[in-house]
Amino acid sequence: MARFDTLLVANRGEIACRVIRSARALGLRTVAVYSDADANAKHVRDADASVRIGAGPARDSYLDGAKIVAACRASGAQAVHPGYGFLSENADFARALRAAGLVFVGPPPEAIDALGNKSAAKRLAQRLEVPCLPGYQGAAQDDDTLVAEARRVGAPLMVKAAAGGGGRGMRAVDDLADEAALRAAIAAARAEAAASFGDGTLLLERRVLRARHVEVQVFGDSHGGYVHLGERDCSTQRRNQKVLEEAPAPGVSEALRARLGEAAIRLARKVGYIGAGTVEFLLEPDGAFWFLEMNTRLQVEHPVTEAVTGLDLVEWQLRVARGEPLPHTQAAIRFSGHAIEARLCAEDPYAGFAPQVGAIAAWRMPEGAGLRTDHGLAEAAQVPPHYDSMIAKVIAHGADREQARTRLLAGLAGTSVMGLRTNRDWLRRCLSDEAFAAPALSTAWLGEALGGWPAPTHEPRWIAVAAALRVHRAARAHGALGGWSSSGQRGSPLRLEIAGRELALRVEVGAGRPYAVTLADGATIEVDVRHDDGLDAGVVVDGLGVALRATLDRGHGWLDAFGLADGFDDVTDRPQETGGGEAGGSVVCRMHGQLTRVAVTTGQRVARGTYLLSIEAMKMEHRFESPIAGTVVELGAAAGTQVAPGRLLVRIEPDPA
């Protein structure tokens, strides 16, 4: 038995909080580690003790295995739970812990070597006669070899990172005749893989269209016991990043579940796998399935399996790490109902999914029957620029899929994050889409559907409420309505900037009566503020009572109402521009990150759509292309520079009309 009473959690955010919760239930003392960016984070406060491990960037803190070992020594921890991401699938880290006499809550490093690397795992699966797609997993990694192998495998093709997971380091190639595009895809995948996992090794794989992404949760113990806990469907993806996950997978029969589970356990047993692992497959409509990879760690989406089995997977991990046998045999595992998980991310879905960083002014997670929320948000939460954009997971469990879906929709409606944009409303669109509700799922459906989803509009009621609350709170702060209106009139002009547009409004004010907001088009909407505590408010808009949330700080506000959360600014006192403005060829940064590559030079002529540069933000590569045809006349930053929203990156002089 590998006894330990103190567990160090080598991770951050919601998964660190999740592990601490189960560890404490088992009576374990917990230790958090944190970077400078996370000094006041929730997981630090939740743990019994904490150790600083470095600066904000992950390479200086959470990816530094030596610092984790030193933190164990400083805190007295005898075991380490890696969570997911960071060092969770790093065999060298697992070896370092073993050499230091520490318990790694995960598989042996030999199993990670055999299954954690996609190329090695595919070679093993082929030997075990687990179905694999045609591809290339060779050691030769020069571009010429990869191009030649790509042509041998054929299109459509997927270029994938051999290490890591989470959809990073992946590029789809549909046309092999365009060698320049193929080489660009290889370069981009390699760069993203190296940045995310410290390993730029690639593999090639035939891409199957209209297939589903189905994965099997497996567990092994040190006594030779193996079980599977059913499957999850993760087909709802954007750029190979999972968005919605569910269990069980729709349409998977008991017989197919048994076949998938048997194939997954065959791989795990061959390498003496211990702990939690997930074997991922592509599932075709006729029931044929193909091995993709194995994630030798706990998955982000493990809560949906917990919901339908009633089991605590982190508790299982800890018990197995202590040398205990698996708590249940295969025959004892039962499944009940359906569960769906949504990943809530700090990103702007309508601006290229640009990561959002900074302070969260206020937040609220949902409660209700069948709902669970995993998050790592402290009371005064910050979203740092160094890590993944996911800030919470909302999970709904129901008697059937439709009940789970509608509960999740309601749960997201009750979720509120103020101060920066999230994908909450976009997730509700995903859940409401006919293809998801049907379900008619494949890994392609969401990408195809996105083209028909325009950005939400700020409807007149939303604008009127924002204006009324701005006036109401300003007046209350001054103790009288006249304190807001410098002219002393019953009504005053108000200019609000919303989503980059400046709106000229007029608000009629008067004690004991509703605010009358006249919009730019001359229409008037009455807003009666019934109660307002500075965050939660109740208003009546043209006779309809609405509960909403709003923050306001020195003219900058954030309103969550009518299914839309967004910011607004009072620019009434700002001088109005008289004209001018930059030409449409200015490319401006929309995120915090590092400028990793600049592909153009000043004086160079570019066509519309020409690749200009790449920014690495929250472990993802974001490519920028020219919005017009013209000549590059200015570069705003050099490769290697840290950039922030609003910074000019490239200015292009348009071609003469």
Mean pLDDT, range 322-329, rounded to an integer: 97
- CATH number of the domain within which 592 lies: 2.40.50.100
Same-domain pairing of 301 and 363 = yes
Same-domain pairing of 64 and 14 = yes
Same-domain pairing of 379 and 239 = yes
Alpha helices in 76-206 (DSSP H): 91-99, 109-115, 118-127, 143-153, 179-197
- CATH number of the domain within which 230 lies: 3.30.470.20
Mean pLDDT, range 490-516, rounded to an integer: 86
- Tell me which of 412, 431, 450 is where a domain ends: 450
Task: Please report whether residue 580 resides in a domain.
Answer: no
Same-domain pairing of 241 and 217 = yes
- Tell me which of 177, 206, 235 is where a domain ends: 206
Q: Domain of 312?
A: 212-450
Same-domain pairing of 417 and 518 = no
For residue 393, the SS3 value is strand
- Tell me which of 206, 234, 263 is where a domain ends: 206
User: What is the tens place of the pLDDT at every residue in 39-89?
Assistant: 999 999 999 999 999 999 999 999 999 999 999 999 999 999 999 999 999
**DSSP 8-state assignment for residue 479:** T
Task: Please report whether residue 602 resides in a domain.
Answer: yes
Confidence of residue 583 (pLDDT cuts 50, 70, 90): very low
Same-domain pairing of 46 and 68 = yes
pLDDT attached to residue 489 = 44
pLDDT at residue 577 greater than cutoff 80? no
pLDDT at residue 468 greater than cutoff 70? yes
pLDDT at residue 644 greater than cutoff 90? no
pLDDT attached to residue 647 = 84
Tokens for 233?
Answer: 């469907």
pLDDT attached to residue 193 = 87
pLDDT attached to residue 217 = 98
Distance in angstroms (rounded) separating the CA atoms of residues 527 and 541: 5
**DSSP 8-state assignment for residue 58:** G
pLDDT attached to residue 440 = 95
Same-domain pairing of 222 and 192 = no
pLDDT attached to residue 310 = 98
Name 209's bridge partners: none
Same-domain pairing of 523 and 406 = no
Task: Please report whether residue 426 resides in a domain.
Answer: yes
pLDDT at residue 164 greater than cutoff 90? no
- CATH number of the domain within which 158 lies: 3.30.1490.20
- 247 phi and psi, to 5 degrees? -140, 140
Task: Please report whether residue 230 resides in a domain.
Answer: yes
**Letter for the amino acid at 427?**
L
Task: Please report whether residue 114 resides in a domain.
Answer: no
- CATH number of the domain within which 532 lies: 3.30.700.30
Alpha helices in 198-253 (DSSP H): none
- Average pLDDT taken over every residue of the chain: 92
pLDDT at residue 409 greater than cutoff 90? yes
User: What is the tens place of the pLDDT at every residue in 229-241?
Assistant: 999 999 999 988 9
Same-domain pairing of 301 and 443 = yes
Distance in angstroms (rounded) separating the CA atoms of residues 69 and 54: 13
Task: Name which residue leads in pLDDT, 601 or 554.
Answer: 601
pLDDT attached to residue 510 = 64
Task: Please report whether residue 643 resides in a domain.
Answer: yes
In 521-647, DSSP assigns E strands to 524-532, 536-541, 544-553, 556-561, 564-570, 586-588, 593-598, 605-606, 611-617, 620-625, 630-635, 642-643
Confidence of residue 482 (pLDDT cuts 50, 70, 90): very low
Same-domain pairing of 507 and 620 = no
Same-domain pairing of 271 and 398 = yes
Distances (CA, A) of 526 to 93, 269, 494, 570: 62, 68, 15, 19
pLDDT attached to residue 106 = 97
Task: Please report whether residue 579 resides in a domain.
Answer: no
First to last CA, the chain: 78
**Total-model pTM:** 0.86
Q: How many domains does the chain have?
A: 5
pLDDT attached to residue 485 = 45
Same-domain pairing of 223 and 174 = no
The answer to which of 33-47, 138-152, 298-312 has the lowest mean pLDDT is 138-152
